[in-house]
Structure 1
Amino acid sequence: MRSDLIACCGGLFRAVGLAALALLLTVTAASAERRVALVLGNSQYQHAAPLANPVRDAQAMAERLKKLDFEVFSGFDLTKLQTQATIEQFAKQVRGADIALFFYAGHGLQVSGKNYLLPVDAALEDETSLDFEAVSVDFVLRQMSRETSISMVFLDACRDNPLAEVLAKTAGVNGASSGLAEIPVENGSAGTLVAFAASPNELAYDGSGEHSPFTSALLKHIGAPNVPITEAMNGVTSDVLKATTGKQHPWISVSLTTEVVLHKVDLNAPLIVGEASAPQAEGGSDARNTGAASASGQSDDQLALDVLRQKIPRLASDAPIFFDHPIDFGDPAIDGKSIAQLIKGKPLFSPVEGLDKSVWEDKRCDGCHEWDEARLCEQAKNFATNDASVLRLQHPLGTRFKVALAKWAQGGCK
């Protein structure tokens, strides 16, 4: 019997070999934390109708976690033996991790308050089958708890499960149901978060998209820049409620003793801190450049710098640049405005490569960077001294704004 209810609780910097172009960008996606994740998804069940979303859900989650600096152990459409082997690999590496994470999508059930995940070869002909064909959630949690600081569990596993019905009716197992049971969070734990796609003992909707409502929301919110995981889960809950018109309510239990932010970005740091100068050879040396000399006597490094400098755009006017005077940049988006005006406006581009637009589009430039005339002058001097830096990274107000800043600094930041 198929039901509509199916998912429940259950600017990389490219090095160019130039010391003069060494990039010092203050963006921290993750600290020195060691993060280890186990991600499992089962769709192609041998003794039940296939499920549409779980493998896609798990694959997308595995990719997202890799981008958040997790070492990911993943498996899709695994048998019981394959599942155990994958959990064993995870267990060996997760010990001592700062953050341990487990995500599962697929069939799950509970029997007398105990939760089980079902590999694709599970048949569940009788109660004994649970020990030999299913995987106890408690077993996975034990592997995560060994000397780890923070544990996070996400279960999109309360599918409308015909195998649970077989176990409950044919085998006469009391208390077998598709909905998962609440997982208690132990007091004294260093930090634990448990999230079900729906409330305990309830089912959830499959949805009509590429992912289940719960996983869609989780992919959207997990790892949002500078957002604590507890706040992210509030967003997940809100999105799932909206997507299901209030019929599905994720259940989340949290006992974290510290704020957990999976994607940390320093929005107050200058975009470019500085660039190292090219190494200078000692006086009297015939080799005054570290790069190989070209036929014209220039090093490869110097040639590369010259090529970059040729690409630096020119301003539309050669007039002196003053902090509070309108500037003819040659860019319609900012023409006729002064530096003083522009830094109090909104950015045109992301201040940090890859930063989601929702984080920066409504911010003021001087708010994000704490810019004032003196601090901006220091950045402008850097552009003037290391002119190639103008092209190395995008600026919130564009490349021509950086060119103007460099010219402003050359004139004494007046």
Structure 2
Amino acid sequence: MRSDPIARCGSFVRALGVAAVALLLTLTIAHAERRVALVLGNSQYQHAARLANPVRDAQAMAERLKNLDFEVVSGFDLTKSQTQATIAQFAKQVRGADVALFFYAGHGLQVSGKNYLLPVDAALEDETSLDFEAVSVDFVLRQMSRETSIRLVFLDACRDNPLAQVLAKTAGISGASSGLAEMPIENGGAGTLVAFAASPDQLAYDGSGEHSPFTAALLQHIGESNVSITEAMNRVTGDVFKATAGKQRPWINVSLTTEVVLHKVDLNAPLIVGEASPLPAEDGSGARNTGVAAPGQSDDQLALDVLRQKIPKLASDAPILFDHPIDFGDPAIDGKSIAQLIKSMPLFSPVEGLDKSVWEGKHCDGCHEWDEARLCEQAKNFAANDVSVLRLQHPLGTRFKVALAKWAQGGCK
């Protein structure tokens, strides 16, 4: 249809480097829920016009979903037998999942109100071809509905399909159409959302860009921070309608009984952004750090000691007070107090992946609802676990977190 606690890490510190260990410190318990997705994309059709974008669309969607903590079962340019095998793998893997998702890009058609997806070897020479060469969307939905809570379906499969015309002529099936039909949603779990790239019985554009209009919009909005899937699809609909000058309008059928947010961000969490800094070539004495444990030193202790060497020092040993200027040793913030800095504006996203509209032009204390007491609680975390200041780069610099830790150690005065 068309026109992205250090867990026994000491033993591999020498192989991966401290940057990897520092990254481990940023890990928290991911989503408690289990997410499984099936992603299929077909472009290289053997008996119909080849499509430019579906495989690219599906590959990009697979990567996007992996970044959203989905276990992804994927297949590209599959024959009917390969498609069945991939669906079978998905059916086993998805059982018991909290979120089951299906994305398809490629040729599709409807016959008498039933929707079918077409593998690359489909020819559809007669009426029986549907059973042996096509894949019923209902069949896929049954596989993803077993013991699952939330089901999300995205069908970018309404492209102009010559095989539908062939089937209509040779088999005399007047109900064969390239557009897909609206689908009833079964009850169960927390509900289902089905999104079509175009309205029922209408065609969608393959697009002239890298992705179809529908998938391009879906890639942009499906994982936006703190945006529900229903709101994301409203944005997708608006983008597609605008991109196609009103010629294509996605169609959403939804019966969710709970809000589904695929990318939740705690706006009150510590500011974290960027990547861990690389391993310094030398330690404080000027000797190159070899990453080799001293006699009697455990691998885990080695990992912690090497990380501690990365913690920057403040330029002054003077006590840290909330509203007194601080000599950080960083020209960008030297001479300013904690009270001043938390009312400054971040230079980039204060939380990784956060929408620009949420943070741009706003003060740090506004985004985080900071006051002196709440900031003290965060600072105590830095003080209790000194290497935690090496979590992803802070918009005000790592020395700001070092100062917060020292402020907490002094009683947050």
Q: What's the TM-score, normalizing by structure 1?
A: 0.82
Q: Shift of the alpha carbon at 1:26?
A: 8.0
Match of 2:403 in 1: 404
Confirm or deny: 8 A CA contact 2:25 2:391 kept in the other structure: no
Taking a change above 3 Å as real, the CA distance of residues 302 and 25 of structure 1, as seen in their structure-2 partners, is closer
Taking a change above 3 Å as real, the CA distance of residues 346 and 201 of structure 1, as seen in their structure-2 partners, is same
Match of 1:155 in 2: 155
- Equivalent residues in 2 for 1:10-409 (5 A)? 16-17=9-10, 29-31=30-32, 33-186=33-186, 190-270=190-270, 294=294, 305-317=304-316, 319-348=318-347, 350-353=349-352, 355=354, 357=356, 359-409=358-408
Please state whether the residue corresponding to 1:192 is helix, strand or coil.
strand
CA distance in 2, matches of 1:346, 1:103: 39
CA distance in 2, matches of 1:223, 1:28: 19
Mark the runs of 5 or more structure 1 residues left unpaired by the alignment.
1-5, 273-291
1:17 alignment partner AA:
G
Confirm or deny: 8 A CA contact 2:324 2:336 kept in the other structure: yes
Please state whether the residue corresponding to 2:10 is helix, strand or coil.
coil
What CA deviation, in whole Å up to 9, does each residue of 1:266-305 have, x standing for no partner?
A: 2324469xxxxxxxxxxxxxxxxxxx9725x766666655
What CA deviation, in whole Å up to 9, does each residue of 1:246-281 have, x standing for no partner?
A: 221100011001111122232324469xxxxxxxxx
CA distance in 1, matches of 2:393, 2:385: 15
Please state whether the residue corresponding to 1:159 is helix, strand or coil.
coil
Range 180-189 or range 101-110, more displaced: 180-189
CA distance in 2, matches of 1:22, 1:249: 42
What CA deviation, in whole Å up to 9, does each residue of 1:355-403 have, x standing for no partner?
A: 5555544553224433221232343344345433333443342212112
Confirm or deny: 8 A CA contact 1:40 1:104 kept in the other structure: yes
Q: Shift of the alpha carbon at 1:310?
A: 4.0
Confirm or deny: 8 A CA contact 1:34 1:99 kept in the other structure: yes
Please state whether the residue corresponding to 2:255 is helix, strand or coil.
strand
Taking a change above 3 Å as real, the CA distance of residues 308 and 76 of structure 1, as seen in their structure-2 partners, is closer
Please state whether the residue corresponding to 1:256 is helix, strand or coil.
coil
CA distance in 1, matches of 2:22, 2:56: 41
Taking a change above 3 Å as real, the CA distance of residues 27 and 223 of structure 1, as seen in their structure-2 partners, is farther
Taking a change above 3 Å as real, the CA distance of residues 80 and 301 of structure 1, as seen in their structure-2 partners, is closer
Q: Shift of the alpha carbon at 1:24?
A: 6.8
Confirm or deny: 8 A CA contact 2:51 2:206 kept in the other structure: no
Confirm or deny: 8 A CA contact 1:145 1:151 kept in the other structure: yes
Taking a change above 3 Å as real, the CA distance of residues 392 and 138 of structure 1, as seen in their structure-2 partners, is closer
Taking a change above 3 Å as real, the CA distance of residues 379 and 15 of structure 1, as seen in their structure-2 partners, is farther
Q: 1:7 aligns with which of 2, 13, 16?
A: 2
CA distance in 2, matches of 1:74, 1:302: 41
What CA deviation, in whole Å up to 9, does each residue of 1:224-252 have, x standing for no partner?
A: 22221111111111211222122211000
Taking a change above 3 Å as real, the CA distance of residues 150 and 379 of structure 1, as seen in their structure-2 partners, is closer
What CA deviation, in whole Å up to 9, does each residue of 1:160-185 have, x standing for no partner?
A: 11111212234332021111111122
Range 38-47 or range 403-412, more displaced: 403-412
CA distance in 2, matches of 1:180, 1:293: 64
Match of 2:276 in 1: none
Please state whether the residue corresponding to 1:56 is helix, strand or coil.
helix
Confirm or deny: 8 A CA contact 1:55 1:105 kept in the other structure: yes
CA distance in 2, matches of 1:395, 1:15: 26
CA distance in 2, matches of 1:150, 1:301: 40
CA distance in 1, matches of 2:293, 2:103: 55
Mark the runs of 5 or more structure 2 residues left unpaired by the alignment.
12-20, 273-291
2:31 alignment partner AA:
A
CA distance in 1, matches of 2:144, 2:305: 54
What CA deviation, in whole Å up to 9, does each residue of 1:193-217 have, x standing for no partner?
A: 0100011111112222211111111
Q: Shift of the alpha carbon at 1:342?
A: 1.5
Q: Shift of the alpha carbon at 1:53?
A: 0.6
Q: Shift of the alpha carbon at 1:105?
A: 0.6
Identity fraction in percent: 85
Confirm or deny: 8 A CA contact 2:165 2:177 kept in the other structure: yes
2:91 alignment partner AA:
A
Taking a change above 3 Å as real, the CA distance of residues 112 and 387 of structure 1, as seen in their structure-2 partners, is closer
Q: Shift of the alpha carbon at 1:65?
A: 1.8
Taking a change above 3 Å as real, the CA distance of residues 343 and 50 of structure 1, as seen in their structure-2 partners, is same
Match of 1:278 in 2: none
Range 47-56 or range 300-309, more displaced: 300-309
CA distance in 1, matches of 2:191, 2:236: 20
CA distance in 2, matches of 1:330, 1:155: 55
Taking a change above 3 Å as real, the CA distance of residues 200 and 322 of structure 1, as seen in their structure-2 partners, is same
What CA deviation, in whole Å up to 9, does each residue of 1:284-337 have, x standing for no partner?
A: xxxxxxxx9725x76666665554444333434555432123334343433343
